[in-house]
C-alpha cells in the first residue's frame, strides 16, 4: 500500500510539473549564479538551459532594451518571488514558456507581412500604443509591436492592412483589430 501511495504521489507531482508555465511580464530579482547573452532572443532558450543545469532552480529572461542591447538569461540557485515587470519572462525549473493572450494581444507572435506603415514608439508607451494606433486608423486590420533590440534600437510598431497568419517570434507582440 505504501508503494502504491508513493507511486500516485510521484505521478501527481509529474502532472503538476508538466502544467507549470513561465510567467511573461514578471521578473525574479536576485539569486543569480550565472548570467549570459541569449543570441536568438528567445526566452525558451533560457528555460531549456535551466533544465540542463542541476544547480538551477529558477530563471529570468530579459528582452533586449536600450541600456542592454542583448537578450539576457539569469539562472538562479533558489526560487525567489516574482515581481511584475514587462522587461522579462521568468519561471521555475520545469516551467515551459507559454506566451499569454490577453486584451487582444498575442505575445511572442509576429504577423509578418501586410505592412503599410511603421512607427517608432516611445519605450514607455510600449505595445498598448501600437494597439491604440491601429484601432484609431480605419485602414488598419492588425498590428505587430517589435520590442527594442530586435528590429531597431527603439521599439517599432507595424500597422497592417492585410491579415497574415501568426508566426512564433519572441521579438514581437501582435493583435488583430478588424
pTM here is 0.73
Please give the chain's pLDDT, 178 residues, in tens: 444 333 334 333 333 334 456 888 899 999 999 999 999 999 999 999 999 999 999 999 999 986 778 999 999 999 999 999 988 999 999 877 766 667 789 988 999 999 999 999 987 788 999 999 999 999 999 999 999 888 888 899 999 999 999 999 989 999 999 9
Nearest to 116 by CA among 87, 144, 88: 144
| Architecture of the domain spanning 101-176 | 3-Layer(bba) Sandwich (3.50)
Q: Do domains 21-92 and 101-176 have the same CATH topology?
A: yes
Instruction: Determine the 3-state secondary structure of 80 from DSSP.
Output: coil
Grid coordinates belonging to 58: 529558477
22 vs 100: CA distance, rounded Å: 10
User: 174 and 145 in contact (C-beta within 8 Å)?
Assistant: yes
Residue with cell 516551467: 95
Assigned CATH topology for domain 21-92: Hepatocyte Growth Factor (3.50.4)
Q: Domain boundaries in the chain? A: 21-92, 101-176
Amino acid at each position: 500500500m505504501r508503494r502504491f501511495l508513493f507511486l500516485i504521489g510521484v505521478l501527481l507531482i509529474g502532472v503538476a510539473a508538466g502544467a507549470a508555465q513561465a510567467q511573461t511580464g514578471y521578473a525574479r530579482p536576485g539569486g543569480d549564479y550565472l548570467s549570459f547573452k541569449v543570441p536568438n532572443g528567445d526566452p525558451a532558450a533560457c528555460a531549456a538551459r535551466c533544465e540542463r543545469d542541476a544547480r538551477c532552480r529558477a530563471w529570468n529572461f530579459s528582452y533586449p532594451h536600450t541600456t542592454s542591447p542583448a537578450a539576457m538569461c539569469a539562472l538562479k540557485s533558489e526560487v525567489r518571488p516574482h515581481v511584475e515587470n514587462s522587461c522579462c519572462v521568468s519561471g521555475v525549473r520545469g516551467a515551459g514558456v507559454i506566451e499569454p493572450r490577453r486584451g487582444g494581444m498575442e505575445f511572442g507572435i509576429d504577423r509578418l507581412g501586410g505592412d503599410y506603415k511603421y512607427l517608432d514608439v516611445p519605450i514607455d508607451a510600449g505595445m498598448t500604443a501600437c494597439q491604440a494606433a491601429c484601432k484609431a486608423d480605419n485602414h488598419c486590420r492588425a498590428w505587430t509591436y517589435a520590442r527594442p533590440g530586435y528590429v531597431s534600437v527603439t521599439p517599432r510598431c507595424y500597422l497592417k492592412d492585410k491579415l497574415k497568419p501568426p508566426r512564433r517570434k519572441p521579438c514581437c507582440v501582435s493583435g488583430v483589430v478588424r
